[in-house]
Chain A
Amino acid sequence: MKAKSPLEIYKLLPRTNCGECGFDTCMSFAANVLDRKAKVEDCKPLVEEAKKNKKAAEKLEKLKEITSPEIDEVVIGKNLKIGGEEVLYRHELTFFNPTAFFFDVSDTMDEKTIDERCSRVVEYKKFYVGKYLTLDGIAVRCSSNNPDRFAEVVKKVAGYGKPMILVTLDSECMEKALKEVAEENPLIYAATPDNWEEFFKLAEKYKVPVVVKSKDLDMLKSLASTFKSHKIPVVLDPVTEPAGKGLQKTFERVIQIRRTAILGQDRDINCPIMVTPIAAWTIEGDDVGKMYWETVIAGVFTVKYGDIMILHSLEPHTIMPLVTLRANIYTDPRTPVQVEPGLRAINNPDRNSPVLITTNFALTYYTVESDLQSSGASGWLLVLDTGGLGVEVSVAGGQFEPGKVKQLMEETKVAEKVDHRYLVIPGLAARLQGALEDELGWKVLVGPTDSGRLKAWLEQNWPPKDGVKVKG
C-alpha cells in the first residue's frame, strides 16, 4: 500500500476515538489498517458520513487509494480472495491470500467421475497447527465444445458450493454457462488476443472476474489495461508451459510480472497471477511422472507469486505436500507460532491418568494434543514455555530445562491433580531424564520421539509396571 506510516491514515479519519471499529483510538485503528489487520471501511462513521457529505466521501476515497494493496485483490465466488499482496519477499511483511488451489473436471467426464472429483475437493482436509487445511475450488473445462453440455456440468458443479473457474475460449459456451451460474461469481477463463472482445462483453454483462491470457507480455498488459479501465477484475495468465525451455520462460514471465508490478509500480499488470500446473498432464509420458511434475510446478509457483492455480491430480499424496507448503509460505512471520503455556486436560483425565509434557511451539503442541485426542487416551498435558521452540531445539538451546519444568508444575499444581508421581517426557528430550528426576523428585518416563506413536506407547507403558505410588 502507498501509506507508509499510520499518520498518513490517521489524518484522514474522523479522529473522534469513538471505538466503533473495535479499536480504542483512531490512531490504533490507523496502525492496524497499515498492518492490513483492519480495513478503512471498518470506520463506520466515516462510511456513513461519506454518503451525505462530499468532503467525507473524498477522504474515504483517498483512504481507500492509499491503503489499497500493491497487487489487486480479486474475489471469486462469495469470498475467496486472491492477490492483495504487498511484497516480493515474505520476511518484508507477510504474504496475505494463500495461493488458491482449483482442481479440474471436464464436461466429457462421466457423471460419476465428476461427482467423485467434486466431492473430494469439498471433503479434503488435513489437520495442521490447530486447524484444517482445505482446497479452494473447482475448474470446469469445456472439452465437449457443446454449450448445452458445458452449461449442464457447470450447473451440476455449482451445486457443490465451491468457488468455480469456467474454462473455455468459446464465448458461446461461456455465455451459456454464465446464464446458469453468473450469480455464483465464477472466474471466467480466458480472454485471449483472439476472443477478448466477446469476453469483455460477457464480463461486463454478467459482472464476473476474468482471466486474460497471453505469453506475449505486451499483449497481456494491453488486455489487462483494457479490462481494468472498465473496472473488470482481472487475473493474469502468462501461460504455463510445462517443460523444457518453456517452463524456464514461464518462471521468467511470472517473476517479471510481479517484480515490475511491485518495484516498477506498473499499475496495469498489478493483478493476481494464475499458473496452470495441469499443463504437466499434456507432456508425453507415464501418469506417475506427470503427477510428480505437476506437483513440482505447483510447488515452484506456490513459493513464487502464483496466486491461483488449476491442478489435475486429486491424489492425497500430491495434495498434502502442496497444502502444507502453502501453509508454510503464507504463515505470517510477524506472529510467533506459540500457544499459551500451562496445563491441558485431554479426554477427561482423572487422578490415575498420565502426566505428559511438551513445548509451546504451536506446531508441536497441536500435533501432540491432536494425537492424544485421537488416540482416545486421557492425560494431563503440560505445555512448557520454550519461547515457541520445538522439543529438539529447546532441549539443545536450554529453554527446555528442569528448573523451568519444576516451576511450570508448581504453577499448574499438577501434583494435586494426580495420585502418582510419573512424568512422561518426549523421546527427543530423553537426555534430560536424569536431571529432571533429580530436580522434580518424580519418576521420569521417556515417551516416543513422535507423538503419533503415543497411543501404542501408553498401551505398553501405562500404568507403569512398577506401580510406584499409583493408587487404585
Chain B
Amino acid sequence: MPKITLEDLLKLLSKYEIKELEGVKIEGDIEIEFESTQNMQAIGMELGMAAYHLARAAMMLGFPVQQLFAQEYGQLYQSQLQPQPQLKQKVEEVIKLIEKKFEPYREEWSGYVEEVQLGATQKEGGTRKYTIKLGGEKSLPFYIFDAPQPNLPSVSIDVFDRPVPLPKTVRVYYEDVMEHPDEWAKKVVKEFKADAVTIHLISTDPLLDDTPVHEAVKTVEDVLQAVKCPVIVGGSGNKEKDPVLLEKVAEVAEGERVLLASATLDTDWERVGKAAKEHGHCVLAWTQMDINSQRTLNRYLLKRVGLPRDSLVMDPTTAALGYGLDYAYSNMERARLAALKGDEDLAFPVSSGTTNAWGAREAWMKESPLEGDYSWGMREHRGPLWEILTGLTLSLAAVDIFMMMHPVSVATLKELMQTLGGRKDVEVECEDWITAEFS
C-alpha cells in the first residue's frame, strides 16, 4: 500500500472541487481544528463530505475503507458509496412514461350528398325486385366515426348489346354470353353478384352496326325482363344519336327508374334531362375531369330542365391507374369536399367507369414491351388488381357506384367496401405476423 501525505490528499480533494472547507482548517498531521462551535450541524455535514471524499480517495488508492465502517453502517454505507445504484436511479427517472390522452379532432360538415334511388319496385310503379340507393353521405367515404354512411357503394357490371373486344383475362368470363345481352345480364347478377346492370347500346354507333333506335331499345326491354335488379342504360358515345336513343329508352322503360347514361355538355343534355324528368328516371351527368364543367352541367339539368335533385348522378370521369388516376382522384375528392362544405351544385352521388382500368396496357399486356423493366408478372392477377386499385382509390374520394367488369375485382371491391363501411361485424383473430412463418 503506498504512503500518502496530506498534500497528496489535498490534491485529490481538489479533484472533487473541495478547495476549502468552510470553517475547517486542516493542520499538520491530520489534526483538525474547529474555529467556531456555532452551527455544528453544518460543520458536521461538511466534515462528512470531506470524510466521504477522503474515503473515496483512499478507495481509489486501493484501501478498503468500507471495511472500517462495515459493522457500524452496514448496507447504508454501501448504498452511498457504490456508484452503480445511483446511476440506475437516474436512468429510471429519465424514462418515466409521459402519460397523455389522445383527443381526436372533430370535423363537422354542413352539407350532405343527395340520396338517389335506382330502380323501382312494383309498389313504386316499376317491376324491379329490389332497388339501390346511392349517396346520402354526411362525411368523407368510410369516415363512419364522423357520421353514419347510410349507403355503401354499389357495383354495376357492364353488358354490351354486341360482342366487344375485351382483354383475355376478362373475356373468358363472358365468351358464352356475348351474343345475348339478356343472358349476359343474367350471368352478371346471378354468378358475379352485381347490384345493378349497365347495358351499353354500342351497336347504335353509326360507325359500328348503326342499329336503329327503335330496334336498340328492344335490348333494353329484354334486359329489364331478364333481371330484376336496377338497370343503367348507356349509349354509344355518338353525340347526335345518343340523346335520341336515350329519349326512346326513357319511354320504353317508363316507371323503372333507370339511370340514363349520359348527358354531357357537348350533347343535347336538355333532351336527355327532359326525357328522364317526364318518365321518372335518373340522369348521369358526365364531364371530362373538370369540376367547373360538372357544376355547370348539374346546374343546367337542375335549373333549366327542372330535374329533381334526387334524380341526378354525376360522372366526373375515371382515368385508369397509371393513366391520370391522380387527376381523377383529386377531382372527385375536391367535388366531394365541396359538397360536404355546402356546395349544392356538387352534392350528388358519383359514378365511376372503373372498367376504364382495362385500357391501361399494364392491365392486359402479357409482358412489358420495354427491355429495362422487371417482369410484369401474371396478367391473370395483374389485370384484376389494376381494376381493384383504380376502384378503391376513387372510392376513398367519392364513388357511390362502380361500373366494372372482372368478377374477381367486383368481389374484392365489394368485400372492402363492406369492411371499411363497418358492415362486417366479425372480429378476426390472427396470429402475430412478426414471428409468423408463411409461404
Q: Are B393 and A299 in contact (CB under 8 A)?
A: yes
* Residues in A whose Cβ lies below 8 Å from that of B288: 393, 396-397
Q: Are A125 and B438 in contact (CB under 8 A)?
A: no
Chain A 309-329, CB-CB to B under 8 Å as 1, else 0, gives 000100111111110110111
Residue of A89, A243, A269, A282 near B431 (CB, 8 A) is A282
Q: Are B436 and A317 in contact (CB under 8 A)?
A: no
Q: Are B102 and A269 in contact (CB under 8 A)?
A: yes
Most buried by B among A123, A255, A287: A255
A154 proximal to B (CB < 8 A):
no
B84 proximal to A (CB < 8 A):
no
Residue of B96, B107, B378 near A263 (CB, 8 A) is B107
Q: Are B324 and A363 in contact (CB under 8 A)?
A: yes
User: Complex Cα distance A263/B337, Å?
Assistant: 15
User: Complex Cα distance A135/B422, Å?
Assistant: 32
Shortest Cβ distance from B103 into chain A, in angstroms?
7
| Contacts known (A200-B95, A316-B374, A318-B385); A300 close to B436, Cβ less than 8 A | no
* Residues in A whose Cβ lies below 8 Å from that of B94: 230
| Contacts known (A125-B373, A126-B373, A244-B424); A218 close to B437, Cβ less than 8 A | no
* Residues in A whose Cβ lies below 8 Å from that of B96: 226
User: Complex Cα distance A169/B435, Å?
Assistant: 9
B104 proximal to A (CB < 8 A):
yes
User: Complex Cα distance A223/B103, Å?
Assistant: 15
Q: How many A-B residue pairs have CB under 8 A?
A: 251
Nearest CB in chain B to that of A361: its residue: B324
A4 proximal to B (CB < 8 A):
no
B361 proximal to A (CB < 8 A):
yes
Q: Are B369 and A452 in contact (CB under 8 A)?
A: yes
A339 proximal to B (CB < 8 A):
no
Q: Which of B404-439 contact A (CB under 8 A)?
A: 408, 412, 416, 419-422, 424-428, 430-439
* Residues in B whose Cβ lies below 8 Å from that of A17: none
* Residues in B whose Cβ lies below 8 Å from that of A312: 438
* Residues in B whose Cβ lies below 8 Å from that of A223: 97
User: Complex Cα distance A221/B102, Å?
Assistant: 6
Q: What is the interface size of chain A, counting residues whose CB is below 8 A from a CB of the partner?
A: 99
A23 proximal to B (CB < 8 A):
no
Chain B 384-412, CB-CB to A under 8 Å as 1, else 0, gives 11101100110010000000000010001
| Contacts known (A143-B437, A363-B323); A295 close to B100, Cβ less than 8 A | no
| Contacts known (A244-B427, A246-B428); A317 close to B420, Cβ less than 8 A | no
Interface residue ranges, A against B (CB under 8 Å): 89-91, 106, 108, 123-128, 132, 141-143, 145, 167-169, 189, 196-197, 200-201, 217-218, 220-223, 225-226, 229-230, 241-248, 251-252, 255-256, 259-260, 263-264, 266, 268-269, 276, 278-279, 281-283, 287-288, 291-293, 295-296, 299-300, 303-304, 312, 315-322, 324-325, 327-329, 331, 333, 363, 370-371, 374-375, 390, 393, 396-397, 450, 452-453, 455
Shortest Cβ distance from B339 into chain A, in angstroms?
14
Q: Are A324 and B321 in contact (CB under 8 A)?
A: yes
Pull 20 A–B residue pairs with CB atoms less than 8 Å apart, ordered by A: A125-B373, A125-B374, A132-B372, A201-B95, A222-B99, A222-B100, A225-B98, A225-B100, A226-B96, A226-B97, A244-B419, A244-B425, A251-B420, A278-B433, A282-B430, A299-B393, A317-B376, A317-B378, A321-B362, A329-B326
B358 proximal to A (CB < 8 A):
no
List the 7 shortest-distance A-B pairs measured between CB atoms, nearest first. Answer: A317-B377, A316-B377, A264-B105, A217-B102, A317-B382, A282-B430, A452-B369
| Contacts known (A89-B337, A329-B329); A321 close to B372, Cβ less than 8 A | no
B365 proximal to A (CB < 8 A):
yes
User: Complex Cα distance A319/B368, Å?
Assistant: 14
User: Complex Cα distance A71/B115, Å?
Assistant: 37
Q: Are A296 and B427 in contact (CB under 8 A)?
A: no
B145 proximal to A (CB < 8 A):
yes
Most buried by A among B372, B374, B424: B374
Chain B 318-357, CB-CB to A under 8 Å as 1, else 0, gives 0001111110011001100100000000000000000000
| Contacts known (A281-B438, A300-B396, A316-B375); A226 close to B370, Cβ less than 8 A | no
Shortest Cβ distance from A328 into chain B, in angstroms?
4
Nearest CB in chain A to that of B378: its residue: A317
User: Complex Cα distance A220/B408, Å?
Assistant: 37
* Residues in A whose Cβ lies below 8 Å from that of B373: 125-127
B123 proximal to A (CB < 8 A):
no
* Residues in B whose Cβ lies below 8 Å from that of A143: 434-437
* Residues in B whose Cβ lies below 8 Å from that of A268: 100
Q: Are B102 and A196 in contact (CB under 8 A)?
A: no
B379 proximal to A (CB < 8 A):
yes
Instruction: Tell me the dominant secondary structure on chain B's binding face.
Output: loop
* Residues in A whose Cβ lies below 8 Å from that of B379: 317
Q: Are A125 and B98 in contact (CB under 8 A)?
A: no
Q: Are B102 and A374 in contact (CB under 8 A)?
A: no
B143 proximal to A (CB < 8 A):
yes
Q: Are B143 and A374 in contact (CB under 8 A)?
A: no
Chain B 72-92, CB-CB to A under 8 Å as 1, else 0, gives 000000000000000000010
Given A226-B96, A245-B428, A317-B378, 8 more contacts at CB 8 Å?
A90-B326, A201-B95, A218-B100, A268-B100, A303-B329, A303-B393, A321-B386, A452-B365
| Contacts known (A245-B427, A316-B376); A374 close to B432, Cβ less than 8 A | no
B101 proximal to A (CB < 8 A):
yes
* Residues in A whose Cβ lies below 8 Å from that of B371: 374
Q: Are A282 and B326 in contact (CB under 8 A)?
A: no
* Residues in B whose Cβ lies below 8 Å from that of A124: 374
B381 proximal to A (CB < 8 A):
yes
Q: Are A296 and B416 in contact (CB under 8 A)?
A: yes
User: Complex Cα distance A300/B391, Å?
Assistant: 11
* Residues in A whose Cβ lies below 8 Å from that of B428: 241-246, 283
Shortest Cβ distance from A432 into chain B, in angstroms?
15
B142 proximal to A (CB < 8 A):
yes
Residue of B99, B326, B329, B382 near A320 (CB, 8 A) is B382
* Residues in B whose Cβ lies below 8 Å from that of A322: 389
| Contacts known (A247-B420, A320-B377, A321-B389); A256 close to B362, Cβ less than 8 A | no
* Residues in B whose Cβ lies below 8 Å from that of A324: 321-322, 362
User: Complex Cα distance A278/B431, Å?
Assistant: 12
Q: Are A281 and B433 in contact (CB under 8 A)?
A: yes
* Residues in A whose Cβ lies below 8 Å from that of B385: 292, 295, 317-318, 321
Most buried by B among A132, A264, A291, A396: A264
User: Complex Cα distance A259/B104, Å?
Assistant: 8
Q: Are A168 and B419 in contact (CB under 8 A)?
A: no
User: Complex Cα distance A341/B97, Å?
Assistant: 60
Shortest Cβ distance from A245 into chain B, in angstroms?
6
Shortest Cβ distance from B48 into chain A, in angstroms?
34
Nearest CB in chain B to that of A364: its residue: B323
Q: Are A299 and B420 in contact (CB under 8 A)?
A: no
Residue of A169, A229, A295, A300 near B434 (CB, 8 A) is A169
* Residues in A whose Cβ lies below 8 Å from that of B362: 320-321, 324
Q: Are A263 and B370 in contact (CB under 8 A)?
A: no
User: Complex Cα distance A296/B385, Å?
Assistant: 8
Shortest Cβ distance from A331 into chain B, in angstroms?
5
Q: Are A328 and B376 in contact (CB under 8 A)?
A: no
Shortest Cβ distance from B226 into chain A, in angstroms?
30
Q: Are B433 and A222 in contact (CB under 8 A)?
A: no
User: Complex Cα distance A316/B104, Å?
Assistant: 38
User: Complex Cα distance A284/B144, Å?
Assistant: 27
Q: Are B97 and A221 in contact (CB under 8 A)?
A: no
Nearest CB in chain B to that of A129: its residue: B322
User: Complex Cα distance A73/B1, Å?
Assistant: 59
